[in-house]
Structure 1
Amino acid sequence: MTAIRSVVLGCGSYLPQRVLTNSELATKVDTSDEWIVQRTGIRQRHIAAEGEFTSHLAIHAANAALAHAGIDAQSIDLIVVATSTPDHTFPATAVAVQNGLGIHHGAAFDLQAVCSGFVFALATADNFLRSGAFKRALVIGAETFSRILDWTDRSTCVLFGDGAGAVVLEAQEQPGTPLDRGILTTHLRSDGRHQSKLYVDGGPSSTRTVGHLRMEGREVFKHAVGMITDVIVDAFNASGTNANDIKWFVPHQANKRIIDASAHKLHIAPEKVVLTVDRHGNTSAASIPLALSVAVADGRIKSGDLVLLEAMGGGFTWGSALVRW
């Protein structure tokens, strides 16, 4: 029995030119390169320029993904932008991206699930494509987290960076087996009891301000590994696969210690893990598509590879996606 799958046609990314190293940060707050690397694995991050918005980053990444896929922007009829740092309260950053790409048909909207945003957006687009409502989608994760950081708070300002990544999905008929190309399964979770552990202390309804990111780092770390493995086990059970079948594990790039612990708990070999946190920092919803783009560009991820994606973010939200490239 055949099945409609959302197949990845191409991916792309964009990073702002400005690179902020740990050593430079150490001149601004009480920290050091050694302290940051030991606790997070981060060595540098990219920072958007003045006047460079989330939509600008997203458009660059989208154009790169379209070029990689070898298709025209006019064939896209759905755009989903995952972001927690939109250009404006409204309209959606996605419509700015749509307009910037010269697309004036179909639908475009934002999705907010913080660091899990790309996985949530991927699952949303997948459901629309499989339903037949749309044919081709751009799924983008784009963030300018530098705009919501308290640069005097060393516990948070050293962690985050700016960037964008995108994938092009197309609805295709596949044989209906675990060997199909495309998104095989997605699993999404949230639990609002934990919202105070990772949040922004502002908003149009509550404070009428943008606010700054606040985090209880130890609490986030404590919950992360268990929550991540939960949705990955669900993905394995739903698809009839296991850790040995995974060619590449592309986790949300938040903290190398969390990534290492998760891979160890799931019995995923270290050489299968794609790591970019050292170069990008935590780019929230952009981190997974940025990592995907790196691994595709350097030849690691190839057609037919089984790729496991996972993320956890504020809310808490968390999710997984299993994709045959």
Structure 2
Amino acid sequence: MLPTLSDLSKDPIYAELLVKIHLLEQRNEHLQQQLVQTNTRHDQLQQLVNKTFEENHRLYLKVLELIEKQKRLIHRLYGQKSEGLSAKQTHLNQEAAQEDLSALEQIRDDYRHDLTQDQLAKLPAIDPIQTEMLIGESDLEPSTQITDGSLPSATDQPKKAKRAKYTVIPDNLEVKTLVHEPLTTVCDCGCQMKRIGEDKQDKLGIIPKQFYIERHIYPKWVCRECDIIHQAAAPKQIINKSIATPELLAHILMSKYADHQPLYRQNIIYKRSGVNIPDATMADWVGRCGVAMAPLVNRLHSLLLSEPILHADET
């Protein structure tokens, strides 16, 4: 004979099951509430992400607008209206203009670096900043017209048709080899990796009055069992994919701002050591270094404003 419902209600196991069912129902209700809260939080975060992207997009468009305004201003200053000025007379202002353009380019590149492919696709297409906008070709003498996108050098002679091209890193410099081994050459599977080659990257460094080549070597290791290649990551650089070491960049900045040596004069000095770094290239480096040092400048600015009295030379 089967037990009746009244018989089951007296069974302690049945009572225990009822308690567990009640607890599970309470747990389920609690989880449902958490799910609603999570969905609400997700919607809030998504709105914040969208708002942040819109703000970044607005700032990005503002940077593009500033770039266009600066190009038009530079063209107005050094374009056809300045026919009476030679390349040497406008050279210092061109250096400053090139540095500003490079700084704007660096800000634009840093912004684009953090975007996804979908976000990049939504950005408006723009033309790359051309250094030819710094000065009109018709305003220069035929011998000093720009042919390679760089600024004319103050040492150019009228008889030269175009600037000669030199290798930035000569082969006769001392080479300092730095080997960047991975932290481990043992694969996750436990196998010892075998070296199959290496990548080389040459950077131009400087000791006062002496240039040298800082060669970065990245050995390549392979696991024969997993068929994967392992290699050390490249160190963080001030200017991505630049041949200049931090020491060289610091030397150029100190020479320009502390020693008051214009970039075209530094170019002349470096040529005496057999190294030709175009002043347009150095102007690009200076502009990008300015972006990298912006946090330091902002911090110094805030410290100055916190002082009760500031003294300034207003002459």
- TM-score, normalised on structure 1? 0.18
- Larger relative contact order (Cα-Cα within 8 Å, sequence gap ≥ 6): 1
More helix by share: 2
* Structure of greater Rg: 2
More strand by share: 1
- TM-score, normalised on structure 2? 0.19
